[in-house]
Amino acid sequence: MAATDRERIADALRYLAPGHPTGRIWGRRQGATPDEAQEGNVWAADVDDLATILAAVLAGQGTVDELMRRHRL
């Protein structure tokens, strides 16, 4: 069975750091410094949720902003 776009995206996100599978990804505020720690984070999402959003955007089912709000990320 061929992998779906969503599955390929999830795998790509999950294995961004070789040898360290990723389960959750944080988005940092532009310009955030390491000293700001948690305060610099503006969103966080599970890899599978992000893959669903990216696959939907690529399929023309909405914008990243719309889908992030819909998924409450």
Task: Give the other-Cβ count within 10 Å of 19's Cβ.
Answer: 5
Domain that includes residue 45, residue range:
5-29+36-70
Q: What is the pLDDT of residues 15-52, one digit of tens each?
A: 988 888 999 998 889 999 989 988 988 888 999 999 99
The residue among 28, 42, 43 whose CA lies nearest residue 73 is 43
Structure tokens at 23: 């389960």
6 Rama sector, left if φ>0, alpha if ψ -120 to 50, beta otherwise: alpha
DSSP state for residue 33 in the 8-state scheme: -
The more confident residue out of 69 and 10 is 10
Number of domain units in the chain: 1
pTM for the predicted model, two decimal places: 0.76
